[in-house]
Structure 1
Amino acid sequence: MPFGALIPALQAGKIDFALSNFNVTEERKKLILFSRPYLQNDISALVLRSAAAPAAPVSAGASLSAPDLNGTRVAVLLGSTHDTYALSHYPNATLLQYKTPSDIILAVKSGKVDAGIYTTETLREIFRADPSLELKGGVLFSVPVAMGFNKQNDSLREQFNVFLQDIRQNGVYRDMVDRWITRGEDAMPSISGTRANGVLRVGVVSDKGLPFMIVKNNRLVGFDEELAERFAAYLGKEIKTSDMDFGNLIAAAATNKIDMIASTLMITPERALQISFSDPYYEIGASAFVMKTGEAEAVAGNDAPGAAYSFIQPIVDGFQNNIIKENRWKLILSGLRVTVIISVLSALFGTVLGAGVCAMRMSSAKTLKTLASVFISLLRGTPVLVLLMLIFYVVFASVSIDPVAVAVIAFGLNFAAYVAEIFRSGVESIDNGQREAGISMGFTRLRTFLLIILPQTIQRILPVYKGEFLSLVKMTSIVGYIAVEDLTKAGDIIRSRTFDAFFPLIMVAILYFSISWLLLQSMAYLERRTDPKFKRIKTAV
């Protein structure tokens, strides 16, 4: 019937209820009863497009009040649809690509860029906690999102589609949307079910932001996380999440490192070439945001004379917000442990392998010398990050292996290439007459090396070895590229929650310095123990 006839029909008893996208208003409440709301509508204006200047084609949901960001500095997420949109629609803008959403927020707040582009729903949640930011114009575009799967794992994709249809029908999906997106809650429900059918490996980005995914009290929460956990329970599997950079998700799914991507993955033709998408489970928008005018002026003039400033209070507040709140110190301790484990194991593996390569390099066999030379040249000429990615995504593409083990292998191989040359230069620095003297005294070549050459070599190479070891410790900060939650990643997760550019970075820097200092003292002690002068002084005393 015509829309205007619905309420009279209800009042006259001609129909039992009206179902027609019925907006709840105070006037209508006086005439009829409303159920609980089942959907929230946005109202938009519509005009005829100008024939003289036709608008550029964009996805459904584009706003007529979209801002013109040409000539400005714009922050976007690397590898996202926001990145692609900005490249095509703002050719005269300076685009700065960041790896994490928290970096985009901080870039806007610190004045490094004029505007940022990110998911509309997440921005609204951020604005509730940070009123210094605001949207610039309306929604730029909207795109359906889905789960991503390996193209060879179509059965799992079909299972998710059936699961999604089930929760849409039984009301679970509507309840999730109402809790996470409409009301803005941030508490995960208890999801029951058996977990006897194996493991579901899920790739996520922990700092996507609410309502989709964050880390709270050292666990993942959000709409995407609940959806993934419910799917795992539906399959009877234990869920194992891998926290990755957004740009690595598709590569991880394509190489079967994970079974599913659960990170509000927008459906695009380019991504569909690499992975398979499930049925869409939501549609999200993208918007530009800026600092409010008054806030931007305050940032620009924060050095004005006469302003009261306390040095201690920001430190106390930063410690409370970044360390104590939500038990974030546990993230730091966990990341510190992983960093130390990778550093120590990589050094041990690299030292043993480097000694073997050094022996091959100094061998009289031409084949062994050639192989060792190629190994050293190849590993020293390859960036550690590239080596790490190659081993994880190519060498072990079809193997289920712990990313920490991959990190140890990659850093160990790189360390071995440098250690082999350090060892060789140390051995060759010993006068050949000492070898001849040892052999003439009746020692075998092996005993001559172990008792005469090696102690002197260790004492000579320790200063260089020490520096290389400290470089290894600092290089481990890139392991987040393969979903290892080390010290740097822990700092990134905290920044994604607090948007504090100062405290997490300084804290991580201090911890790396502390690790390096302790290792430096240990190596210095070993250096003294192998120094003949130290031994003579100790004996004399």
Structure 2
Amino acid sequence: MKKKFFELIMLIGLLFTALPFSQASAATNNTKATDTSLAKIQKKGVLVLGTSPDYAPYEFQTTKNGKSVDVGMDISIAKQIAKDLGVKLKIKNMDFDSLLVALQTGKVDMVMAGMNPTPSRRKSVTFSNVYYKGGQDIVINKKDAKLYTSKKSFEGKTVGAQTGTMQYNMAKKQIANVTVKGFDKGADLILALQTNKIDGIVMEKPSAEAYGKNNPQLSLVNGHFNLSSDETSSAIAFQKGATSLAGAVNKSLAKIQKKDLINKVYLKEAGSHMETNTVNTSMFHYWKYFAKGIGYTLLISAFSVFFGFILGTILAFMRLSRNKIFKAVATAYIEFVRGTPLMVQIMFVYFGIGLIINLPALTSGIIAVSLNSGAYVAEVIRGGINSVDKGQTEAARSLGLSKSGTMRYVILPQAIKNIWPALGNEFISLIKESSIVSIIGVTDLIYQLKIVQSDTYRGVAPIVVAMLLYFIVTFGLSKLLAYFEGRMKHAN
């Protein structure tokens, strides 16, 4: 039995890992055979752009008419490209290190995020022509301006860079004995710098200048890095082999460059938006961001609690069943889910299953969190049922109750009372753990926190607001659960 159990776990694991790669391989082979990337976009009438809006002046967010909108140089270029193609532009926001995965799995049609077309990236995606050339700077605290004058000053120090970027690898290779810490968002890097967790930030020159201009506590150092043309350039990424789409986009880029729209229009517009963001950086001014974030957090949590409880109940009964197949399947599922991180599960549902069914980010987040919660709820329910004395079952059966009737009227009511505190803890934990859905672009509270940090150039204040909101929600829920627990005890 143990051998079959482990074989089942291995089979499930292989299916989880092999499915995305097999689907991606098939997609790649199809692309090589016939490139219809441009035709498909023109047929559906929508060009989907993937970006990470925390990298001013390339892409960031601002408030227009009370709504959060994506702006920046890259966004302006993307709008012109969509216009030239005769289609609408749809923007999907997510973490930078998820963008190429989203591209390869068909979640987005192209990626713009100040991305450098490095040789390693060219192996997996197709790039457009270069549309902008910048440089690389190191952002430091102004009080340390005398300590750091070039990249050599950081030998033996700790620097930060955005995870998955060329800057991260460049710092490791070109600064001796340096420790490089990766962060998902630019705002996290600035916060780490200002709280002395790192000594400097390796950042693309335009973004470094944007932070320096809008934050008087920061200063810039020219790192004098040894850079190839790819490492000072930005290009648009497409699926590997999407040459027809890349060709059409290159025509738009040529028109933009001929008119010098980037320098004459797009960068000036981005600067204007950045100035607007810093006019009022109070947290109250951004209350709609936090309200939207807490709304999505509660929505995800409510659905996940509901579906997770149903799934957990089914799994608990399967594991308690005398049917060996049901028991083995439930055990394998529970052990596998509890043995893998929630973040990986969310990415698998969104990117892996998304190869077969194109699920929206919100739906993917709810499904992943529900599936994860179900495994933990199952063990709580199973433990509660096992905690009821076996004599209760024998007494009920001797009085003529059926097996199902005994479970329904005798065992479960007592089990629920026993497990209520544990279930409450699981539901409260779920609210906090749901914050990880922000990695796929779900606009929950953590996602909005990052946006406010990026827009206001303030690191700590948005965190404090988010902490208070989480506390209010979880404290309120704990009091509600305690009320019902008291009612149960009173009913005894």
* Equivalent AA in structure 2 for residue 345 of structure 1: F
- Confirm or deny: 8 A CA contact 1:72 1:93 kept in the other structure: yes
Alignment of 1:162-241 (within 5 A): 162-169=251-258, 171=259, 174-181=260-267, 185-187=271-273
Distance 1:399 1:166, change over 3 A: farther
Contact kept? 1:322, 1:504, Cα under 8 Å: no
**Residue in structure 2 matched with residue 391 of structure 1 by the alignment:** 349
Give the match for residue 524 of structure 1: 482
**Residues 261-308 of structure 1: CA deviation (Å, up to 9, x unaligned):** xxxxxxxxxxxxxxxxxxxxxxxxxxxxxxxxxxxxxxxxxxxxxxxx
User: Does the 8 Å contact 1:180/1:186 carry over to 2?
Assistant: no
The residue aligned with 2:151 is: 67
Which of 88, 101, 110 lines up with 2:173 in the alignment? 88
Q: 1:428 to 1:112 in 2, by over 3 A?
A: closer
Aligned to 2:463: 505
Q: Which whole-Å CA distance do the structure 1 matches of 2:166 and 2:303 have between them? A: 39
For these two proteins, the number of residue pairs brought into alignment is 344
Comparing both structures, which one devotes a greater share of its residues to helix?
2
Q: Does structure 1 retain, via aligned residues, the 8 Å contact 2:136–2:203?
A: no
Moved more, 444-453 or 154-163: 154-163
Say which of 183, 191, 198 aligns to 1:106: 191
TM-score when scaled to structure 2? 0.65
Q: Secondary structure at the match of 1:419?
A: helix
Give the 3 Å change call, closer, same or farther, for CA 458–80 of structure 1 in structure 2. same
Distance 1:161 1:447, change over 3 A: same
Unpaired runs of 5+ in structure 1? 1-58, 188-209, 218-316, 537-541
Matching residue within 225, 237, 250 for 1:148? 237
CA offset digits 1:311-350 (Å, max 9, x no partner): xxxxxx9xx624233xx21110111011111111111111
Distance in 1 (alpha carbons) for counterparts of 2:400 and 2:269: 85
What is the rounded CA distance, in whole Å, between the counterparts of 1:469 and 1:520 in structure 2? 9
1:186 is aligned with what amino acid?
S
Change (3 A) 1:89 1:370: same
Q: What is aligned with 1:535? A: 491
Asked which structure has the greater RCO (Cα within 8 Å, sep 6+), the reply is 2
Partners of 2:306 and 2:332 in 1: how far apart?
Answer: 22
Amino acid at match of 2:284: I
Q: Does the 8 Å CA contact 2:214/2:457 hold for their aligned counterparts?
A: no
Which deviates more from structure 2 when the two are superposed, residues 114-123 or residues 351-360? Answer: 114-123
What is the distance in 1 between the residues matched to 2:270 and 2:392? 76
**Cα separation, partners in 2 of 1:182 and 1:139, compared to 1, 3 Å:** farther
Q: Cα distance 1:183–1:415, how it changes in 2: closer, same or farther (>3 A)?
A: closer
State whether residues 134 and 205 of structure 2, in contact with CA within 8 Å, keep that contact through their aligned partners in structure 1: no
Q: Does 1:421 align with 2:379?
A: yes
Structure-2 change in CA distance of 1:365 and 1:184 (3 Å):
closer
- Per the alignment, do residues 184 and 508 of structure 1 end up closer, same or farther by CA in structure 2, a change over 3 Å counting? closer
Please tell me whether the aligned partners of residues 211 and 457 of structure 2 are also in contact (alpha carbons under 8 angstroms): no
1:96-495 alignment to 2 at 5 Å? Answer: 96-137=181-222, 140=225, 141=227, 143-151=232-240, 153-169=242-258, 171=259, 174-181=260-267, 185-187=271-273, 321-325=281-285, 328-495=286-453
Give the direction of change, closer, same or farther, for the CA distance of 1:183–1:356 in structure 2 (3 Å limit): closer
CA shift at 1:182, angstroms? 5.6
Which residue identity does 2:382 align to in structure 1? R
- What CA distance in whole angstroms lies between the structure 1 residues aligned with 2:385 and 2:136? 69
Q: Are the equivalent residues in 2 in contact too, given 1:491–1:504 (CA < 8 A)?
A: yes
For each residue in 1:352-395, what CA deviation from the matched residue of structure 2 results, as whole angstroms up to 9, or x when unmatched? 01111111111111111111111111111111112222222223
Q: Distance in 1 between matches of 2:252 and 2:270?
A: 24
Displacement of 1:120 after TM fit? Answer: 1.0
Please say which structure displays the higher CA radius of gyration.
1
- Measured in 2, the distance between the counterparts of 1:502 and 1:60 equals 30
CA deviation after TM superposition for structure 1 residue 183, in Å = 7.7
Shift of 1:421: 1.3
Q: Aligned to 1:135, what secondary structure does the other structure show? A: strand
1:458, CA displacement in angstroms?
A: 0.7
Asked if structure 1 preserves the Cα contact closer than 8 Å seen for 2:151 and 2:224, the reply is: no
Q: Give the counterpart letter for 2:169 in structure 1.
A: T
| Match of residue 4 from structure 2 | none
The 2-side partners of 1:446 and 1:331 are apart by: 49
Q: By how many angstroms is 1:216 displaced?
A: 5.5
Report deviation, 1:139. Answer: 5.4
Contact 1:73 1:94 (C-alpha < 8 Å) held by counterparts: yes
Q: CA deviation at 1:430?
A: 1.6
Q: Deviations over 1:73-101 (max 9, x none)?
A: 21211111111111111131222222211
| Structure 1 residues 367 and 480: CA distance shift in structure 2, 3 A | same
Residues 256 and 262, structure 2, Cα contact 8 Å, conserved in 1 = no
| SS of residue matched to 2:357 | coil
Q: Give 3-state SS (helix, strand or coil) of 1:76's partner.
A: strand
**TM-score scaled to structure 1, two decimals?**
0.59
- Per the alignment, in what secondary structure is the counterpart of residue 293 of structure 2? helix
**Counterpart Cα distance in 2 of 1:458 and 1:350:** 16
**TM-superposition CA deviations, 1:170-213 (whole Å, max 9, x none):** x3xx23421343686435xxxxxxxxxxxxxxxxxxxxxx69xx
Greater displacement, 351-360 / 144-153: 144-153
| Structure 1 residues 121 and 356, CA gap change in structure 2 (3 angstroms) | same
The 3 A distance-change label for structure 1 pair 446 and 167 is same
What secondary structure sits across from 2:294 in the alignment?
Answer: helix
Deviation at 1:138, TM superposition (A): 5.8
Deviations 1:45-85 (CA, angstroms, capped at 9, x unpaired): xxxxxxxxxxxxxx99789x953131222121111111111
Which whole-Å CA distance do the structure 2 matches of 1:411 and 1:138 have between them? 43
Q: Is the 8 A contact 1:322 1:494 kept in 2?
A: no
Q: Which residue identity is paired with 1:444?
A: S
The change in CA–CA distance for 1:177 and 1:361 in structure 2 (over 3 A counts) is: same
